Amino acid sequence: MQVDIDQIIIRKRVRKNLGDLSSLMESLRRHGLLNPILINNRNELVAGHRRTEAARRLGWTTIEVRIVDDRDEGDLVEMEIEENTQRKSLTPDELAEAYLRLDRIRNPGFFGRIWQAIRRFVRRLFGRR
């Protein structure tokens, strides 16, 4: 559900320092919002302060939200904490493998380019895009 970004109320937050938002802004610009922010039924932000602020700085007027209601204040703070602590970064090996895979996709060899051309041709032939 989309909500007017100016209607989101930001109260006291666990995270005090939003940090550098430039890479998050670039991600939003390139890929859009991958995970909606969380608000309660009074439009108070529960989780997603950095995403909200990055979207606001990009000039977005609305943002995708998920509403979590019927929760007490303790549950909402716990959700904010979980949102910011229950992450696992990729290992260096996983990250290297992912970038190699991306490079192979974006820069296919000779046979890869031929296969892609055949796939595009068949899609156009049968009207699938």
DSSP state letter for 93: H
Q: Are residues 3 and 65 in the same domain?
A: yes
Provide the number of structural domains found in the chain: 2
> How many helices (H) and strands (E) would you count in the chain?
5, 4
- Domain CATH number, residue 75: 3.90.1530.10
Least confident of 31-40, 46-55, 71-80, 95-104: 71-80
Report d(CA 36, CA 52) in Å as an integer: 9
Least confident residue range of 12-21, 36-45, 66-75: 66-75
Q: Are residues 50 and 111 in the same domain?
A: no
- The reply to whether 98 and 125 lie within a common domain is yes
First CA to last CA across the chain, in angstroms? Answer: 28
Instruction: Mark whether 18 and 68 lie in a shared domain.
Output: yes
Provide the domain limits for residue 125.
Answer: 89-129
Question: Taking the model in full, what pTM does it have?
Answer: 0.72
